[in-house]
Amino acid sequence: MNLAKTERAALCETLRSMSPDAPTLCEGWDAHSLAAHLWLRESGISRIAKAVVTRGDSMDAATAEVKAETPYLELIAKIEAGPSGASPFRVPGVDKAANLMEFFVHHEDLRRAGEHPLPPRVLSDEMESALWKALSSSKRLLFRKVPLGLIVATGAGQSFAVGKDFEATVVGRPSELVLYASGRTSAAQVEVKAEPTAARRLADSLGL
């Protein structure tokens, strides 16, 4: 099963249920901004490259431009339809490999933001297993700025190490560990076993 495809559909359903100005966990971004980012990342790569080369703009600037010119519901429909044009995400297998964590994290950015955040979803064992695999394979990238030795564990016999001279252990379900590693440290439901100073250093290094 392509779980990235399943999560894409769930994410789009949540986007449709919210107003364009709904808050997200990404500072400065509302739901419309998030939708613009998702479409741009997947189907607007040439547009990003052109903006950077010709104007020196960042991806944030390109995202703001897409948001300004494309209605919210239209963007959601485009995301739901999948990558278009010459997008590398159209190559067989790329969507499944590259989008699962992206869609999951941004889905929770919507669900857990605001004054009344929604609780974590109950995910299937298959989904949790896939997220653990994705997290493990991306650990060097996600934890590249961590200034201390770290153990990441599910509490069910799965773990990996980051660095050495371990000062902290983070325990949680794979889905929550993905959120923590992606900088959603205040929203992720994990247990951080560390001295207070080490815990703060760890969270700060993963901040959005």
- How would DSSP label each residue in 85-133? TT-GGGSTTHHHHHSHHHHHHHHHHHHT-SSSPPPPP---HHHHHHHHH
Average pLDDT over residues 6-29: 97
Average pLDDT over residues 148-174: 95
Residue 52 — pLDDT band, cuts 50, 70, 90? low
Residues pairing with 158 in the sheet: none
Q: Does residue 49 carry a pLDDT above 70?
A: no
Residue 83: per-residue pLDDT: 85
Residue 85: per-residue pLDDT: 76
Report the alpha-carbon distance of residue 93 to residue 100 in Å, rounded: 12
Report the alpha-carbon distance of residue 83 to residue 86 in Å, rounded: 8
Report the alpha-carbon distance of residue 39 to residue 178 in Å, rounded: 22
Residue 137 has which token pair? 């394979």
